[in-house]
């Protein structure tokens, strides 16, 4: 499962979760939940479908359900990411469920603490304020629904379940019964990356999460994330994260109390 995107926001009508990320990147994905990406510090490069955004401190991206998106953060970037069920803002969702913003990014003049929204009333109050600001700052455009997004969702779901074992696009094409060549071209066109690149990014993102849990060795983490060769894991980790697993832990202050066996 890709870090905290469990079940793609399908945990119920009152699902609301906030997490803090530091210097992290995520490969292309989509989910049913609404997602807010709030930049507390630093700079973030965000792509939502065919639109690219450079976000800085105080910027907030409102990503609608089933919008394909991925992001890359600078080392010093601090993000607060909120996933919530569309039903929490039911009136807004019923009006705009078939729309997406022309511009997904707004700027919040005053710092917001999503972690303080413990009750459903606090959550609704803050979220509706953000909905209001979004509507005041941009136009909404009708979604052009087509089956290709549904196909891509099947690919993401397959990876979500099978990333720890053999997981090739050919395997996926057989499983979901689509032509391999068609699926390969579709994936590149909609995510702007090859499937192997996506899979490696996904696996390394999951490895970062497991490393920070400090409950397993690097060797076991590599195997859990689908790498049968430790050298290949280290090479991909350094290429994607620009540091080794040990350096990653040290950079974020986890190594001083770690009991990981760094094999």
Query: pLDDT per residue over 83-124, tens digit each?
Result: 999 999 999 999 998 899 999 999 999 999 999 999 999 999
What residue numbers bound the domain in which 13 lies? 6-142
Whether residues 103 and 64 share a domain: the answer is: yes
Could you tell me if residue 1 is inside a domain? no
Over residues 228-256, the mean pLDDT reads 82
Number of domains in the chain: 2
Q: How far apart are CA 62 and CA 51, in angstroms?
A: 13
Residue 131 sits in the same domain as residue 217: no
pTM for the structure as a whole: 0.71
Last residue of a domain, one of 142, 174, 198: 142
Continuous segment of H or E residues that includes residue 100: strand 99-101
Contact 79, 37 (CB under 8 A): yes
Residue after which a domain boundary falls, among 142, 177, 202? 142
Looking at the structure, do residues 182 and 55 belong to the same domain, yes or no? no
Q: Centre a 10 Å sphere on the Cβ of residue 43 and count the other Cβ atoms it contains.
A: 15
- Asked whether residue 263 is domain-assigned, the answer is no
Do both 117 and 156 map to the same domain? no
CB 109 within 8 A of CB 88: no
CB 31 within 8 Å of CB 8: yes
Report whether pLDDT(11) > 70.
no
Pair 14, 62 in one domain: yes
For residues 183 and 188, give the distance between their C-alpha atoms in angstroms, rounded to a whole number.
Answer: 9
Which of 142, 159, 188 marks a domain boundary?
A: 142
Residue 149, number of CB atoms within 10 A of its CB: 16
Residue 222 lies in a domain: yes
């Amino acid at each position: 499962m890709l870090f905290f995107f469990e079940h793609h926001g399908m945990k119920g009508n009152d699902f609301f979760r906030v997490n803090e990320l530091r210097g992290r990147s995520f490969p292309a994905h989509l989910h049913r939940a609404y997602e807010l990406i709030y930049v507390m510090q630093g700079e973030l490069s965000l792509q939502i479908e065919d639109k690219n955004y450079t976000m800085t401190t105080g910027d907030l991206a409102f990503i609608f359900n089933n919008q394909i998106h991925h992001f890359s953060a600078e080392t010093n970037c601090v993000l607060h990411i909120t996933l919530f069920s569309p039903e929490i803002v039911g009136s807004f969702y019923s009006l705009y469920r078939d729309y997406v913003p022309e511009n997904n990014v707004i700027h919040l003049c005053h710092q917001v603490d999503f972690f303080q929204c413990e009750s459903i009333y606090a959550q609704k109050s803050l979220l509706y304020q953000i909905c209001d600001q979004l509507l005041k700052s941009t136009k909404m455009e009708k979604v052009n629904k087509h089956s290709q997004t549904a196909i891509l969702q099947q690919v993401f779901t397959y990876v979500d379940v099978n990333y720890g074992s053999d997981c090739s696009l050919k395997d996926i094409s057989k499983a979901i019964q689509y032509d391999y060549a068609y699926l390969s071209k579709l994936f590149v066109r909609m995510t702007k990356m090859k499937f192997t690149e996506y899979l490696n990014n996904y696996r390394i993102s999951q490895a970062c999460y497991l490393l920070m849990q400090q409950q397993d060795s690097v060797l076991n983490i590599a195997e859990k994330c689908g790498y049968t060769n430790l050298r290949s894991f280290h090479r991909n980790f350094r290429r994607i994260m620009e540091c080794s697993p040990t350096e990653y832990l040290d950079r974020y202050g986890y190594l001083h109390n770690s009991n990981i066996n760094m094999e």
